[in-house]
Amino acid sequence: MKHGLEHDRPEDVTEEDLPEGVKLRDHVVDGIREYDQRLPMWWLIILFGVIAYSIVYWVVIDDRRFTGDRHPAFEAKLQAVETARLAGSIDVTNDEMFFQMATNPSFIEAGREHYAAHCAACHGSDLQGGIGFNLVDGEWVHGSTPSEIYVSVADGFPDAGMQAWETLLGQKRTAEVVAYVLSRNPDLLP
């Protein structure tokens, strides 16, 4: 049985037997001869396009060596673990803990809400002061360490008109509001 070209031996096939413009390579392997054609343009475009895209993807999108960032999803998980750890071990005499809270977006956000609801009326919506002291001017009459600020907020100054907030808010929310006040005073952070 013959396949394709009418020759017994592949060596006998000549260019004349082939369609217009088709070239043959010289060697014969297992009785098979190969065409020597350029790959079609669409095929080459896909090949080199994919290679180029893989480099762009590796450098720009996937590889974070240039920015030094960790993966955002991983970052978010770390953040959640850290928030849970802080919330589960509130020790209001521990300044270090307040420093961590004051850079933790969950605590800052919670504190910001408590501040707007309970403190802004006297201390101003931007902590600029009013009936109560300015809380961003760097002056701390009753102490500027986180635990001193906590005591100021927790016990209040009943004689001056500021109630004891720990009684109303509880320890966690009071700590959150202190974290928020600290976050607005970067000079107090280490």
Give the three-state DSSP class for 7. coil
Q: Would you say 49 or 130 has its CB closer to ligand HEC? A: 130
Measured N-to-C along each axis, helices 165-183 and 146-155 cross at an angle, to the nearest 10 degrees, of 150
Out of 110, 118, 154, 182, point to the residue binding ligand HEC (CB under 6 A): 118
Total interface residues for ligand HEC by CB under 6 A: 23
Assess 142 for contact with ligand HEC (CB under 6 A).
yes
If we measure between CA atoms, which residue out of 125, 122, 100, 89 comes closest to residue 178? 100
Out of 107, 154, 165, 176, point to the residue binding ligand HEC (CB under 6 A): 165
Assess 151 for contact with ligand HEC (CB under 6 A).
no
Size of the chain in residues: 190
Q: In this structure, are residues 145 and 95 in contact, taking their beta carbons and an 8 Å threshold?
A: yes
- DSSP letter assigned to residue 157: B
Q: Which stretch binds ligand HEC (CB under 6 A): 71-79, 91-99, 102-110, 161-169?
A: 161-169
If we measure between CA atoms, which residue out of 187, 102, 174 comes closest to residue 144? 187
Residues 11-50 that bind ligand HEC (CB under 6 A): none
Q: In this structure, are residues 182 and 128 in contact, taking their beta carbons and an 8 Å threshold?
A: no
Q: Would you say 5 or 117 has its CB closer to ligand HEC? A: 117
Assess 152 for contact with ligand HEC (CB under 6 A).
yes
> Which residues lie near ligand HEC (CB under 6 A)?
118-119, 121-123, 131-133, 135, 139-142, 149, 152-153, 157, 160-162, 165, 177, 181
